[in-house]
């Protein structure tokens, strides 16, 4: 019998569907809990789909786990990871009755005592620094006075990066160049989501991520971070009980928005990035799929670790040979069988992600010069991507407008 993985996702994120296909090819049986209309329903890789209810998220995940009885859970987005961590806390309070779910979540994601560190940006950076990892100076700030005091003590100058805990996709990041910009950015990042915005996302996009934070008027913890000028890079790893099993490393060549997700990547092999990921995975005793964001400093090429993403990233489905095949590594860990990587998808180093780069610019030269990551063997998934193009292009435009009005664009070099 094939080992079963349950994909838990709260958002209609296309890369989740891409990973599901790769996991099926690696040998897994796939179930999923997701919002209605998710692109993963357009593949034949999923055995059964359970409905995700945004206003009753923990019950949705709990019911799916009970019905599916998976060997592994993989969160498809940041909110799903947070809610699985909350589900662990809820089940842990039940004592013996909650032990099976707790054991499954710990097996899938890693040591539960370290879950809070995955969202506390300043505390995570401090932990990385303690392990000898190169990081930007980072400090929690409550107001402009805190920012000025920290900048003086740290010897930091503008620009400064402000980041809200628990945010993702660039929504919680501001690069500020003056105290006036910092004051506006700090207020915006700390403020609870507007109720109108939360209602629109819930009713139109079927995305309930902002509903409870808006209703409960939750204010975000914000950290200040020294600005590192350079080239953005990313790493995705499959890990098991504190050991990295496979990893992918890329330099970011193009993005959907100035602080959004990557659309074009170049495969690299950076020893400092590898060492940093291995140290964090070991220190936090992580399992499953995790992503790390870096900045390669423009003059020295030194790799600065910026943050961790406790879930799959949009490159997780790319199979690039031994040691670079995340689905095959996960299958080996769960099944106990030897790693059997899939054929390498391309010999090209530059990869244009589908549909991300095509949506960003259908005339992009990268679609011709790079390996264009189109799932030609999954025509229904391609059609779903095409149908989603208008909404995605609107999101890209909105992100760029927000960035143009409120932050300075990050330099490439």
Q: What is the pLDDT of residues 296-345, one digit of tens each?
A: 999 999 999 999 999 989 999 999 999 999 999 999 999 999 999 999 99
Between 18 and 399, the more confident residue is: 18
Rounded CA separation 268/289 (Å): 19
What CATH homologous superfamily does 230-406 map to? ATP-grasp fold, B domain (3.30.470.20)
Among the listed residues 306, 294, 311, 299, the one whose alpha carbon sits nearest the alpha carbon of residue 249: 294
If one compares 170 and 365, the residue with the highest pLDDT of the two is 365
The pLDDT tens digits of the residues spanning 59-101 come to 999 999 999 999 999 999 988 999 999 999 999 999 999 999 9
pLDDT band at 197 (very low <50, low <70, confident <90, very high): low
Q: Please check the confidence at residue 201 and state whether its pLDDT lies above 90.
A: no
- Cβ atoms 77, 311 nearer than 8 A: yes
Cα(285)–Cα(242) distance, integer angstroms: 4
Pairing of strands 29-34, 46-51: parallel
Q: What is the CATH number of domain 137-226?
A: 3.30.1490.20
- The confidence score (pLDDT) of residue 337 equals 96
> How far apart are alpha carbons 251 and 350 in whole angstroms?
9
Strand ranges in 52-200 using DSSP code E only, listed in sequence order: 72-75, 138-141, 160-164, 173-176
Q: What is the pLDDT of residue 408?
A: 38
* Segment 113-161, tens digit of pLDDT: 999 999 999 999 999 999 999 999 999 999 999 999 999 999 999 999 9
In the chain, what are the domain boundaries? Answer: 4-110, 137-226, 230-406
- pLDDT tier for residue 256 given thresholds of 50, 70 and 90: confident
Return mean pLDDT, the chain: 89
Give the pLDDT band of residue 199 (cuts 50, 70, 90). Answer: low
Cβ partners under 8 Å of residue 367, min gap 6: 352, 357, 358
Mapping DSSP to helix (H, G, I), strand (E, B) and coil, where does residue 96 land?
Answer: helix
Q: Tell me the mean pLDDT in the region 333-359.
A: 95
The predicted-structure confidence for 6-58, as pLDDT tens digits, reads as follows: 999 988 878 888 999 999 999 999 999 998 888 888 888 999 999 999 888 99
Estimate the share of the chain in helix, then strand, then coil, as percent rounded to the nearest 5.
45, 25, 35
pLDDT at 216: 60
The whole-number pLDDT of residue 410 equals 39
pLDDT at 209 over 90: no
pLDDT at 171: 74
- Residue 172: pLDDT band with limits 50, 70, 90: confident
Q: Which helix (H) or strand (E) holds 389?
A: helix 389-406
CATH of domain 4-110: 3.40.50.20
268 Cβ contact partners less than 8 Å away, ≥ 6 residues apart: 233, 249, 250, 251, 349
Q: Terminal CA-to-CA distance of the chain, rounded, Å?
A: 51
């Amino acid at each position: 019998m094939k080992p079963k993985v349950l994909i838990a996702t709260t958002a209609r994120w296309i890369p989740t569907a891409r990973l599901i296909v790769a996991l099926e090819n690696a040998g897994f049986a796939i179930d999923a809990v997701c919002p209605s209309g998710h692109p993963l329903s357009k593949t034949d890789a999923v055995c059964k789909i359970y409905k995700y209810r945004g206003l009753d998220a923990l019950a949705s995940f709990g019911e799916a786990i009970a019905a599916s009885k998976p060997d592994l859970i993989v969160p498809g987005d940041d909110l799903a990871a947070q809610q699985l961590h909350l589900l662990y806390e809820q089940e842990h309070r039940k004592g013996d009755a909650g032990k099976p779910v707790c054991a499954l979540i710990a097996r899938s994601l890693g040591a539960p005592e370290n879950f809070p560190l995955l969202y506390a940006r300043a505390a995570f950076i401090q932990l990385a620094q303690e392990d000898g990892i190169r990081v930007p100076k980072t400090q929690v700030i409550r107001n402009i006075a805190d920012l000025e005091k920290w900048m003086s003590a740290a010897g930091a100058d503008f620009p400064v990066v402000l980041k809200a805990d628990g945010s993702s996709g660039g929504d919680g990041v501001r690069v500020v160049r003056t105290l006036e910009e910092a004051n506006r950015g700090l207020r915006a990042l700390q403020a609870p989501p507007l109720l109108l915005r939360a209602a629109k996302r819930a009713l139109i996009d079927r995305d309930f991520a902002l509903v409870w934070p808006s209703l409960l008027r939750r204010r975000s913890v914000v950290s200040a971070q020294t600005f590192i000028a350079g080239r953005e890079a990313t790493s995705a790893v499959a890990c098991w009980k504190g050991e990295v099993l496979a990893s992918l490393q890329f330099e970011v060549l193009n993005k959907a928005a100035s602080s959004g997700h990557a659309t074009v990547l170049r495969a690299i092999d950076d020893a400092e990035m590898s060492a940093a990921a291995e140290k964090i995975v070991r220190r936090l005793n992580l399992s499953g799929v995790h992503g790390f964001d870096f900045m390669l400093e423009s003059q020295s090429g030194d790799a600065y670790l910026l943050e961790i993403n406790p879930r799959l990233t949009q490159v997780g489905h790319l199979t690039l040979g031994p040691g670079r095949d995340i689905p095959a590594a996960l299958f080996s860990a769960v099944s106990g069988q030897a790693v059997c990587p899939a054929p390498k998808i391309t010999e090209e180093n530059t990869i244009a992600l589908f549909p991300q780069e095509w949506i960003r610019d259908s005339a992009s030269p990268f679609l011709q010069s790079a390996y264009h990551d189109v799932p030609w063997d999954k025509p229904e998934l391609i059609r779903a991507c095409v149908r989603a193009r208008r909404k995605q292009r609107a999101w890209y435009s909105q992100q760029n407008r927000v960035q143009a009005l409120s932050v300075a664009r990050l330099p490439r070099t």
